[in-house]
A and B are shown apart, each in its own frame.
Chain A
């Protein structure tokens, strides 16, 4: 075979092949299982929260939803990313892929984006879509008006949550490539999630981190930034979004730099 060895085309073909492999997994059993799992988990918790009359915060439908989507997908992303990166390194499958004409950054990109896209759909978009339809019909949420929030704002909020997921996936990828121990990398990333959710102190610089988007140390009657936004308030956490995007870029660069030098 007269192979095409033009560097750019080779790199593109290799990256595309790796990406299709990683994303393709989510189109099969893995995607179905995650879809069922998150619909069940989020749906069950929502139904308990909203319908139980003895719950002190009954009726917090969309707030509960935003809260869960800020926690479960990032946790799942942390576990899956640590398993994929560390597991692939230790069992030799990463070396097998990289023996093909796949650029190393392209391979990492395919792993991270596969997990991010897969979980964004199965653990954020689909459960949120179901809740968007179901919640206003079950019980009016205790906020401005007993109507479903504007779809555009709702979708934007989901996009921000997906970005939060990407933040933790890219953080875990970085830790996994550096530490190369699955449990340690996952634990450190989970610790970061916890610290951002419950900042012990709240100095101003936290505004630049995703903490502003997912923190739980709210005053009574105070809504989270995203819940307030979907119900019509202005979005006052733009710095946090830019900060998260910047950190994602930094993690990506450092991860790529370390991974290029990793011996397999």
Chain B
């Protein structure tokens, strides 16, 4: 088994003067549930289409489960399940018919009764069992999304690639989708794109962030959160002449923001080195006895904070 289910090196894609991908390097660990984040137009769907062989890169290589996509052709997709963005399926099939039909493309997929059992199991798993005979053309967007997941899983793939799987789902559907993704963890590598950061925090163990066609951060979720800085929240009483400048001058301090909160001043100190901050910050704050610390704690670092730091706010690719 390869260490990484997906490896991309120097991936670039140009569309008539528009650089959709710009030297993207990507590593998705085998067995991980990896969230793929980025603003609109960052290159997420383009990356996924290149991985699936639907689009050819202008430069670079991508390996999926040990196969180089450009060379291996259909073999590279034999162990992959894929849900495209805004999925469209042949309209003449029923839900059950489409999932069964999807199985026929894969060698080694069960046939006959075993296939029927698997199809029924998947349809039930995605919550469409009461609509199994409905035609695809009559499905809502959310139902098509769920059908898309079912057809992606029919061949029991080693890698599942989902492009915006929660799009169009109501809250209950979204929760069910997240549970499904979480249930795949371990046996199957899941690589999915989303705009919903809460979802990534809930089910992902690794994250890739992309902006303007290049990866800006990737790795285990905890590492991403730590690497992008920690915020100490301090409530101070007393004059702070020069204290702010002293703290800002420290090499392990990134930013200091101060706002009034009643009788206190609330300081939010972003640090890049937590151990240095733990050793020095309190003593600096209370030096000379001019200040009293009414509050001192480490702020919960959210993925949203890290995302905005790395990608920027309103910074559409």
Contacts and interface: CB of A to CB of B under 8 A. Distances in A.
Interface of A: 1-7, 9-14, 16-18, 20-21, 25, 28, 30, 91-93, 95-103, 261, 263-264
Given A16-B104, A17-B105, A264 B74 contact: no
Interface stretch (B31-39, B84-92, B177-185, B290-298): B84-92
A103 B89 contact: no
Nearest to B52: A99
Interface of B: 49, 52-56, 67, 72-75, 77-79, 82, 84, 86-90, 92, 101-102, 104-109, 155-158
A53 B186 CA distance: 80
Identify which of A1, A25, A102 gathers the most chain B CB atoms within 10 Å of its CB: A1
B77 A101 contact: yes
A236 to B, nearest CB: 44
The A interface, classified by DSSP as helix, strand, loop or mixed, is helix
Given A92-B88, A93-B89, A101-B77, A3 B54 contact: no
Contacts of B52: 99
Given A18-B105, A93-B90, A99-B82, A263 B55 contact: yes
A18 B109 CA distance: 15
5 cross-chain pairs, A with B, having the tightest CB-CB distances, nearest first: A1-B156, A17-B104, A13-B107, A92-B88, A100-B105
A10 B86 CA distance: 27
Given A1-B156, A5-B75, A91 B88 contact: yes
Contacts of A101: 74-75, 77-78, 105-107
Contact of A14 (B74, B84, B86): B74
B78 A95 contact: no
A40 B54 CA distance: 42
A20 B103 CA distance: 12
15 contacts: A1-B156, A5-B75, A7-B72, A7-B73, A13-B104, A17-B101, A93-B90, A95-B54, A99-B54, A100-B77, A100-B105, A100-B106, A101-B74, A263-B54, A264-B49
Nearest to B90: A93
A102 B105 contact: yes
Contacts of A264: 49, 54-55
Contact of B84 (A5, A12, A99): A99
Contacts, number: 103
A126 B78 CA distance: 39
B56 A14 contact: no
A261 B57 CA distance: 11
B106 to A, nearest CB: 6
A4 B67 CA distance: 14
Contacts of A5: 67, 75, 78-79
Contacts of A10: 74-75, 78, 107
A128 B58 CA distance: 52
Contacts of B155: 1, 3
A11 to B, nearest CB: 5
Nearest to A16: B104
Nearest to B187: A1
Contact of A20 (B56, B77, B104, B156): B104
B65 to A, nearest CB: 9
Given A1-B155, A96-B90, A261-B56, 15 more contacts: A4-B107, A5-B67, A6-B107, A7-B75, A9-B107, A11-B74, A16-B104, A17-B106, A20-B104, A92-B86, A96-B89, A99-B52, A99-B82, A100-B106, A264-B49
A96 B73 CA distance: 15
B108 A4 contact: yes
A252 to B, nearest CB: 19
B92 A25 contact: yes
B173 to A, nearest CB: 21
Contacts of A102: 74, 105
Contacts of A91: 88
Nearest to B152: A99
A167 B155 CA distance: 37
Given A1-B108, A3-B155, A263-B56, A11 B73 contact: yes
Nearest to B102: A100
Contacts of B73: 7, 11, 103
A5 B158 CA distance: 12
A96 B74 contact: no
Contacts of B84: 92, 95-96, 99
A263 B102 CA distance: 22
B87 A96 contact: yes
A18 B56 CA distance: 22
Contact of A93 (B75, B88, B108): B88
A21 B78 contact: no
B246 to A, nearest CB: 57
A28 B101 CA distance: 15
A261 B56 CA distance: 8
Contacts of A16: 104
A15 to B, nearest CB: 9
Contacts of B89: 93, 96
B88 A96 contact: yes
B168 to A, nearest CB: 15
